[in-house]
Chain A
Amino acid sequence: MFIGFFYKLKEVGIPVSPTSFLTLHKALSRGLVSSLDDFYTTSRATLVKSERYFDLFDQVFAHHFEGAELPDLTGVELDELARSMLEEWLKNPKTLASALGIDESEISKLTPEQLIEYFKERLKEQTERHEGGSKWIGTGGTSPVGHSGNHPGGMRVGGVSRNKSAVKVAMERRYKDYSLSGPLSQAMIGEALKRLRHMIPSGPKDRVNVDKTIYQTMKNAGEIEIVFDRILKDRLKIIIAIDNGGWSMEPYVNIVQTLFDYARAQFKDVKTYFFHNTIYDTIWLDTSRYKRPQKIDEFAKLDSETRLIIVGDASMAPYELMARNGSIHIEERSGQPSIECLKFLAKNFRHSIWLNPIPAHMWGYTQTIFAISSIIPMFELSIDGLEKAVAHLMAK
């Protein structure tokens, strides 16, 4: 039963497992489900394990049991198409009119929405993609799986209610919000950085070491000798270097600030430095980058187990990275190109990473990102990226 439904869920990218499908059937066979309402609740609770997929589930449910239009799996292309069509329309209404087979004067009366809809109607007629009298129009999201992108609900033009409340509920798409990947909050950064620690004994000896106690007691021929140990505490040393210059980091100020706040609260031994675009001979302790410079050569004196976290968009003109005296600041004239400085840092600190607030799928467009990530492992400043970064920092 409902095998088609199950595979439809799988097809749109909800991670459903056969086991959970069997659980659903267990519920069905025990008579726990007596209406479509019940089925909606039960199937969602058993099959879908993250609120991120609730929206998608609602849509598939509405599709399967009511014939509502499924979010276009080809939504990306269609939206692209719609956009380029609109651009075309603005530039050259006449060509478009003839392409769609309507009069130019008529096309100019349409609003952009109407135009897209008209276009889609045409598309449907041609391919007969929508059978069963569905009267729903949706623009489809940009991505049905809801990774990093948006998932606009689309413009809905009404729907036919047949008094099946579960379907109505499903069609309301109450969980739309959760399919967006929200901004990183402090709590989420804390979540990701939690495992970043280095435990060493410190403080008073107030923990009983059972093994040693037993050993010592045996050695004393039964005379009890309790052995105490120090408690383990986090003593990880961390250096954070933040790119705080220029406009390119501007959109990410909030997220970096959150990271910074968290790091200060969490780690006992954290030093923060600032730079602009990339690191040359000097790095600054003050945000205005001129009062308290620090030669990076001196980092060689520091514990090589210190974790170095560089935060920046790594986007700049290639010469800034590759050329001697590449800095865009005239007073900052260094003997060696920035890339050598980065190599030095990477060599000096075994555990160093670069966190980049730019989404990973955009990295390919910037040369310097590629160059830097080949020296210092680069991770996206997102939950997933932070997690990978922490794994890298804690690797032996």
Chain B
Amino acid sequence: MISDKKTFSGAKSYVLDEELAKIVNISMALEMPLLLKGEPGTGKTMLAHAIADTLGMPLITLNVKSSMKLIDALYQYDTLTRLNDSRFGDSKKDVSNIEEYIKMGKIGQAFTADKRTILLIDEIDKADTDFQDDMLDVLDQMEFDIIEIDKTISTKHRPVIIITSNAKKDLSDPFLGRCNFHHIAFPDPKMMRKIIKVHFTNIDSDLMENTVNVFYRLRELESIEKRPATRELINWIRALKSDPDFKPKDLVKGDIPYLGILFKKSPDYARAINTVSRRRII
């Protein structure tokens, strides 16, 4: 699988587990969207970037917003410019040709691109259910109509579609029916060490061991609302590395600096500080 040019096997800045690689390849082969769920910080969005990087395909990202309508993602008809142009007539555009005033949205761009693209639809759960269902219809048929010019846009190259969702809640059934699904679990310590190695190529092994140990222990604290994720760990290590006074041994002694990088909600932070100072968690 790995030697084949068209399959995906991980990127320089992204540590991929084998299972996920397989699912990505299968979704690409079946030409079905892949829905990724998982805790924030498990690298859902990063995956799309990594695939784009590895396969050398352009990445088009649609950041879903709650107020978004499907049409915004497909195309936009710039009526106001046309109205102005028709009034003053100093534009280079042909006012009688509506098509010149149609701008493609993100999905439209992916459909009309000259080569196969990766279409990342990020945080689909922010939009309402109608948006999701309608969008899947478009992605299923790989075409949409532009009503204003009575033209059907269909794909030149079926894009590879990656959809991410943060929600605990399930998406609607018709939506799920049309995607493949994977849940990215939070990386285990072994995986985490690999991830850290990717980000800090020559990291001191003491530093890595101690930080990872402390990190997983801190994650297990009770009643934490936002548990620290990979991003926080990496930033934390970065902070520790840049502190000249810090020695990895300090962590073993139970002296844990910069907790604010790991815990970003004040009750969480207070609880972490409390636990760390009250009893040694190592």
Contacts and interface: CB of A to CB of B under 8 A. Distances in A.
A46 B169 CA distance: 19
Contacts of A20: 177
A49 B125 contact: no
A360 interface: no
B23 A41 contact: yes
A45 B181 contact: yes
A23 interface: yes
A213 B83 contact: yes
Interface residues of A, number: 43
Contacts of A45: 23, 26-27, 34, 180-182
Contacts of A49: 35, 170, 176-177, 179, 181
Interface stretch (A2-10, A24-32, A62-70, A244-252): A24-32
B168 interface: yes
A51 B29 contact: no
A215 interface: no
Interface in B167-189: 167-170, 173, 176-177, 179-183, 185
A217 interface: yes
A178 B177 contact: no
A27 B29 contact: yes
Contact of B22 (A38, A186, A224): A38
Contacts of B23: 41-42, 45
Given A41-B22, A45-B23, A208 B168 contact: no
Interface string B10-52: 0000000001001101110110101101000000000000000
A42 B169 contact: no
B125 A191 contact: yes
Interface in A39-75: 41-42, 45-46, 48-52, 54
Contacts of B84: 224
Contacts of A222: 87
A32 B225 contact: no
A214 B177 CA distance: 42
A224 B86 CA distance: 10
Nearest to B83: A224
Interface in B47-73: 66
A214 B66 CA distance: 28
B274 interface: no
A292 interface: no
Interface of A, secondary structure class, is helix
A174 interface: yes
B150 to A, nearest CB: 19
Interface in A177-225: 178, 182, 185-188, 191-192, 194-195, 208, 210, 213-214, 217, 222, 224
B37 to A, nearest CB: 6
Contacts of A185: 168, 225
Contact of A208 (B30, B80, B170, B179): B80
A89 interface: no
Interface string A336-367: 00000000000000000000000000000000
A32 B168 contact: no
B79 interface: yes
Interface string B79-116: 11001100100000000000000000000000000000
Contacts of A48: 181
A23 B169 contact: no
A186 B267 CA distance: 13
Interface of B: 19, 22-23, 25-27, 29-30, 32, 34-35, 37, 66, 79-80, 83-84, 87, 125, 128, 166-170, 173, 176-177, 179-183, 185, 223, 225
- The 9 closest A-B CB pairs, nearest first, are A51-B183, A49-B176, A45-B180, A41-B22, A45-B23, A49-B181, A224-B87, A50-B170, A32-B29
Interface of A: 15, 17, 19-20, 23, 26-27, 30, 32, 37-38, 41-42, 45-46, 48-52, 54, 174-175, 178, 182, 185-188, 191-192, 194-195, 208, 210, 213-214, 217, 222, 224, 226, 254, 383
